[in-house]
Amino acid sequence: MVRLVPVLDFGGVETEIAVQAALHDRAHFDLRVCTFWKAGRVAETIRGEGIPVDVLDADPSVRNAKAPWALARYLRRTRPDILHASVPEADFHASLVGKLAGAARVIVDEAGMPARPASRRLVFAALHRRVDAHLAVSDALRDYLAESEFVPRRRIRVIHSCGGREFFAHPKDDYAVTRPRFRVVSVGRLVEVKNKGVLVEAMGHLVKQGANVELVLLGDGPLRSSLEARVAELGIGDRVQIAGFVPDLVSALRAADAYALPSHSEGCSLSLIEAMAMALPVIASRVPGNEEVLAGLDPTWLVPPKDAAGWAAAIARLAGFSDGSRAVLGRSARDAASARFSPEAYVAALESMYARVYANVDPG
């Protein structure tokens, strides 16, 4: 079988493919990974597990007519029983040529709520009727795909995202605040949907209130300069650090006192799951995907995504908790992540889905 992605450098999907490479049932699945281009850091991790990584050397853009031809040539050579594509560009090309080029079964998946114009939704809807299954990372995403993206509901399988193994292996075990300030960390791309600006605004409120807190944003993106400008405008440059990408995310999370995820929408947030696996107290936006991940935990830590004052109040409330109270929250989050979002559970569910799709068994 072949896992197909547009690029293989870093990110949530790449993390899950690395987990699959390490834990999959080698007696039943002969796994290969294929990327259109940019076989970077994660590719080396996968190769280290003895799994071949093939590179098509083609721009994966849907506008690039050479990309589906490159994929078709590859599939005619490998003829996989299952082609599992992830991320919209790979989904598009796999849907277009997968079966025509020799893949026995084609699966495509979405990790987040796609925001496509109506014309593009219709194109993807037509292509998705050419595949055997559509993987959604949450019930919320399944409903969105069926209702807004016109994906046949009977073809949608739900498998939640998983965290990287390293996050489960190194949980936080000391909840005393050892730095001068209570530290809130948020991980993710600096783009509109991730809504990092509301955390900056919340910090403005907290500084005015005299709260002894700081914010660290880990990630980069097109909104970095505007976020930096807003930090300067609010005069809170000593309280907000926009650190970009960091190589050792486990250590960065262990140094945090809380984790915040303010996204406008999420399918099944990998960064939230990994913070939970690290036993960090978490605050998340009240959107369907996050509500699903935090099901069974205290719902008062869900905040409307646009409510900067609400975010400030939640952070101040958590900063005022005792070490022991924060430990209870963090360990409850870890227990939930271990029960529902572990690497082992993810790979087992994936392989069960593969068997059912290959056997042409409807989900149930």
Q: For residue range 56-68, list pLDDT tens digits in order.
A: 999 999 899 999 9
CATH number where 196 lies: 3.40.50.2000
Which residues does residue 256 pair with via DSSP β-bridges, in sequence order? none
* Residue 114 located in a structural domain: yes
Residue closest to 232 by CA, chosen among 246, 243, 222, 242: 242
99 and 181 co-located in one domain: no
* 54, 33 Cβ separation under 8 angstroms: yes
**What is the per-residue pLDDT for 360?**
83
Q: Is residue 332 part of a domain?
A: yes
Number of separate domains in the chain: 2
CB 168 within 8 A of CB 277: yes
Residues 125 and 268 in one domain: no
pLDDT at 10 over 80: no
pLDDT for 362: 62
Residues 282 and 200 in one domain: yes
Are residues 262 and 306 both part of a single domain?
yes
Structural domain contains residue 363: no
In a domain, 79, yes or no: yes
136 and 231, same domain (yes or no): no
Evaluate if residue 113 carries a pLDDT over 80. no
Is the CB of residue 289 less than 8 Å from the CB of residue 140?
yes
Q: Does one domain contain both 185 and 327? A: yes
Query: Is residue 152 over pLDDT 90?
Result: no
Within a domain: 80: yes
> Residue 220 contacts by C-beta under 8 Å, 6 or more apart in sequence?
189, 190, 244, 245
Comparing 223 with 144, which gets the higher pLDDT?
223
Query: Cα-flanking dihedrals φ and ψ of residue 244, to 5°?
Result: 70, -160
Give the residue carrying structure tokens 């935090």: 294
Q: Say yes or no: 276 and 227 in one domain.
A: yes
Residue 124's region, left for phi above 0, alpha for psi from -120 to 50, else beta, is: alpha
Per residue in 178-193, pLDDT (tens digit) is: 889 999 999 999 999 9
Q: For tokens 């262990």, what's the residue?
A: 254
What percentage of residues in the chain have a pLDDT greater than 70? 99
Q: Sign of dihedral through CA atoms 300, 305, 310, 314? A: positive
**pLDDT exceeds 50 at position 141:** yes
Residue 114 has a pLDDT of 72
- The reply to whether 27 falls in a domain is yes
pLDDT tens-place string over residues 12-69 = 889 899 999 999 999 999 999 999 998 888 899 999 999 999 999 999 998 999 999 9
Q: What are phi and psi of 136, to 5 degrees?
A: -115, 145
Predicted local confidence at residue 364, as pLDDT:
46
- 316 plus 332 within the same structural domain: yes
Question: Above 90 in pLDDT, residue 355?
Answer: yes
SS (H, E, C) 236-279: CCCCEEEEECCCCHHHHHHCCCEEEECCCCCCCCHHHHHHHHCC
Specify burial of residue 2 (Cβ count, 10 A radius: 0-12, 13-18, 19+): buried
Q: How many CB atoms lie within 10 A of CB 300?
A: 9
126 and 172 in a single domain? The answer is no
Which residue range is the domain that position 100 belongs to? 2-162+342-358
Q: pLDDT tier at 128 (50, 70, 90 boundaries)?
A: confident
Same domain, 91 and 176: no
| Predicted pLDDT of residue 363 | 54
Do 179 and 258 belong to one domain? yes
State the burial class of residue 130 (Cβ atoms within 10 Å of its Cβ: 0-12, 13-18, 19+): middle
Is 364 a domain residue?
A: no
361 — pLDDT class (breaks 50, 70, 90):
low
The verdict on 184 and 205 lying in the same domain is: yes
The reported pLDDT for the residue numbered 332 is 97
Instruction: Say if CB 54 and CB 74 are below 8 A apart.
Output: yes
Q: Are strands 32-39 and 2-8 parallel, antiparallel or unpaired?
A: parallel
pLDDT at 84 over 50: yes
pLDDT at 302: 98
The verdict on residue 138 lying in a domain is yes
